[in-house]
Amino acid sequence: MFPTLPPITRTLIIVNVAVFLLEFLLPGLIQWFALWPLGPLFHPWQLLTYAFLHEPNNLMHIVFNMFALYMFGGALELYWRERGAPSFYVLYYFASVLAAAATELLVLSQSQVPEPVIGASGGVFGLLLAFAWFFPRSKLLVLPIPVPISAWLLVTIYGAIELWLGVTGKQDSVAHFAHLGGMLGGAIMILIWRSSNRGRAY
């Protein structure tokens, strides 16, 4: 099934997995390419490169992100390709990544936490929002919920949980506001898409 994935999604997954394996050979990758708070360790390229790094001691980190990219990214890439805008998928993904980074930098500047941020979750949460927007009635089965639920409801629940966890400071090892920032960036891109395609029957 993997070879049937559309090319951009397939490439994103391959690059993420390749970088993950490279981290074991070059541990310094996180030092240089993770997203650090504004300061001596921060470099502009980190706004994008952090999204290709994952915790090397936590296999499920990359597994969950790549599974979500596989599930939602492929469908969205095909959606925009069928509407004559395959490049918008790339713009959308990286806009979500950048929005997630900007949001997290803002939060880190207030908390003064010196820990770096890594992971594709910002882009993935942007994809999750887009999937719910364009396929709101698609049924998804997500543990521990025992029954399939609509995509729009799943995203609403996820967003509320992320906001609660971020505000309360629970699971402080997870960049919850980066997830929300990815969704915000995705929402802005969808509004741009809708505005530029107003009047078309999709």
- Predicted confidence at residue 10, as pLDDT, reads 94
Query: What distances in angstroms separate CA 99 from CA 51, 91, 105, 184, one per listed residue?
Result: 12, 12, 10, 7
- Predicted confidence at residue 177, as pLDDT, reads 80
The full set of domain ranges for the chain reads 2-196
Instruction: Kindly give the parts of the chain with pLDDT less than 70.
Output: 1-3, 111-113, 142-145, 169-173, 198-202
At 103, the amino acid letter reads T
Could you tell me which of 133, 174, 170 has the C-alpha nearest to residue 154? 133
| 74-86 pLDDT tens trace | 999 999 998 888 8
DSSP string, 11-78: HHHHHHHHHHHHHHH-THHHHHHSBPPSSTT--TTHHHHGGG---TT-HHHHHHHHHHIIIIIHHHHH
Q: Which residue has the tokens 């970088």?
A: 19
- Predicted confidence at residue 109, as pLDDT, reads 75
- Predicted model pTM: 0.89
Taking the C-alpha atoms of residue 202 and residue 199, their distance in angstroms, rounded to an integer, is 9
Question: In terms of CATH architecture, what is 2-196?
Answer: Up-down Bundle (1.20)
| 124-170 pLDDT tens trace | 999 999 999 999 888 877 666 677 878 888 888 888 887 877 777 66
Residue 197, helix vs strand vs coil: coil
- Predicted confidence at residue 134, as pLDDT, reads 93
- Predicted confidence at residue 171, as pLDDT, reads 64
For residue 34 the two structure tokens come to 């993770």
Taking the C-alpha atoms of residue 5 and residue 42, their distance in angstroms, rounded to an integer, is 35
